[in-house]
Structure 1
Amino acid sequence: MSLSDLLTPLRAQSPLVHCITNYVAMNISANVVLAAGASPAMLHAAEEISDFTPICNALMINLGTLSAPWVSSMTSAAETANAHSIPWVLDPVAHFVSGYRKSVAQDLLASRPSIIRGNASEILALAGQAGAGKGADSGDSVMAAEGAAHTLAKTFDSVVAVTGPVDLVTDGTRSAHVTGGSDIMPLVTALGCSQSALMGAYAAVGSPFDAALGALAHFKVAGSAAAAKAQGPGSFQMHFIDALAATQPDDLNAVVNE
């Protein structure tokens, strides 16, 4: 499928994306999903999962600011999504920094997310390999995590997206890279988290592999456009949201190398 075939139905259908994400990321994730053309919902109460998750078109789970009640919601939402054949994205933010966080990540991984999105250090650690991550920041190259990404994809029947200066997407058999963006992007908090939310939106209208590529390409295109206008991280965020809305379907294929 051409990626240009994804953004048009995304905007036409405006899929509802259930985002169980962290406090830092809620606002920008909602704005990113809205600007791209989908509909975000930042709902995390365990008491609402059984009613709400089944009516959504996709789910995204982000481990950024964990707490026991939220873990219960995450587990229930993942199980509900699987039961209703709803695609879901796992963003295992800094899952290696504590035993508790690692355990939660592994439990969710066992539920076989449609897409796993993380930086190189997170993907290496999720596959049981040593990395050089510092909190939510990667200390490893995307190339260093390529083998780990293939292993995770094959083991859990998931698509794995490793993000960095050049992104990698693999389903264990196919692989593709996405270029572009801006070196200002890591200076704006929670852009990675919001990218996972956008992957949920794309997963509602395409296969997990195409969805991961589509969201990554959308980010790279918008990042390049925003950097041309921004004076620094603050103005970049404003221009980036505008650029997400301005991105056209035919723009996406230009940044993907398969």
Structure 2
Amino acid sequence: MTLLARTWDIVERIRSKAPLVHNITNYVVMNNTANALLALGASPLMAHAQEEMQELAAISNSLVLNIGTLSEPWVSSMLVAGKAAKAASKPIIFDPVGAGASSFRTQTCTKILQEVAPTIIRGNPSEIMAVAGADGQTKGVDSIHTTQAAETAAEYLAEHFDCVVVVSGKRDMVVSTTETVWLQGGTSLMAKVTGMGCTSTAICGACAGVADSAFDAAVAGMALMKTAGGMAAAKADGPGSFQMHFLDALYSLNKEAIRANCTIEG
């Protein structure tokens, strides 16, 4: 089965199974992320109280950890949730937002990697390089590096933590210990809307909740972002209308749209 066929199979599984995706994410993007998951067919859960992490891990299909708006209590909840999800064999998707921008962020990333061992790591090139210990300087939470520049860092993380690494940019890269795939598509309008990277991570979480492999889930998640972005850009007049059309595109996705809007290169 081709990567395109596997991606469409994952979409159909999401729509039929409505996986519950537990998000401990930043409060800038909660509404956007929840709506994107709903539009795709998944079920979003936004909760961060440490007291309920164990119970939520038992009922969720996947866990998304996003460090966009950090505080010590949230970090503690992420660690408890991550360990509970790992014990329950649930996939964990980690978004190291702004890694390299502050020592607190970078140290938190290290702690999550070492204590939780995420299944998928998704970030921009600078974040991935910072998490890997390379020169991953960021401009706030934005990347100042290209996807190509982060390839070695992604390969290191995949090998060292036995996970799948996604580096997103104009071309997205998905790296495992055995293969690398590049995805082309999307639109520059995505950079004009806050939280699109965070949405990518959450959609990877939805895909991971039903997919047979983490690699397929990561490829599918990024392919769906590229596709919905391209579909939305064709109708949008600017960032505001783009957000509306992006949700509609996720809702109306079909196999032909993925083929037309996203190129997957092995």
TM-score exceeds 0.5:
yes
Superposed CA deviations along residues 193-239 of structure 1, whole A, max 9, x for unmatched, are 11111111000111110001101000101100100111111110010
Q: Is the 8 A contact 2:170 2:184 kept in 1?
A: yes
Q: Which runs of 4+ in 1 moved over 2 A?
A: 249-255
The equivalent of 1:233 in structure 2 is: 239
The equivalent of 1:256 in structure 2 is: 264
Q: 1:116 aligns with which of 121, 126, 130?
A: 121
The equivalent of 1:32 in structure 2 is: 36
Q: Could you tell me how far 1:172 is from its partner in structure 2?
A: 2.6
Q: 1:7 aligns with which of 8, 11, 15?
A: 11
Secondary structure in 1 matching 2:27: coil
The equivalent of 1:99 in structure 2 is: 103
Q: Is the 8 A contact 2:147 2:173 kept in 1?
A: yes
TM-score scaled by length of structure 2: 0.95
Pair 131,104 (structure 1): closer, same or farther in 2 beyond 3 Å: closer
Q: Is the 8 A contact 1:5 1:249 kept in 2?
A: no
For 1:42 and 1:27, the matched residues in 2 are separated by 9
Which amino acid in structure 2 is aligned with residue 245 of structure 1? Y
The equivalent of 1:78 in structure 2 is: 82
Which amino acid in structure 1 is aligned with residue 158 of structure 2? A
Map of 1:9-24 to 2, 5 A cutoff? 9-24=13-28
Structure 1: 5+ residue stretches without partners: none
Which amino acid in structure 2 is aligned with residue 230 of structure 1? A
Q: Is the 8 A contact 1:221 1:255 kept in 2?
A: no
For 1:67 and 1:42, the matched residues in 2 are separated by 16
The equivalent of 1:174 in structure 2 is: 179
Q: Could you tell me how far 1:97 is from its partner in structure 2?
A: 1.7
Identity of aligned residues (%): 48
Secondary structure in 2 matching 1:219: helix
TM-score scaled by length of structure 1: 0.97
The equivalent of 2:162 in structure 1 is: 157
Q: Could you tell me how far 1:131 is from its partner in structure 2?
A: 2.6
Q: Could you tell me how far 1:248 is from its partner in structure 2?
A: 1.2
Superposed CA deviations along residues 14-66 of structure 1, whole A, max 9, x for unmatched, are 00000000010100000111111100000000011111121100000000001
Q: 2:215 aligns with which of 202, 206, 209?
A: 209
Secondary structure in 1 matching 2:94: strand
Q: Could you tell me how far 1:256 is from its partner in structure 2?
A: 1.2
* 1:191 corresponds to 2:190: no
The equivalent of 1:138 in structure 2 is: 143
- Paired residues in the alignment total 258
For 2:169 and 2:95, the matched residues in 1 are separated by 14
Structure 2: 5+ residue stretches without partners: none
Q: Could you tell me how far 1:250 is from its partner in structure 2?
A: 4.9
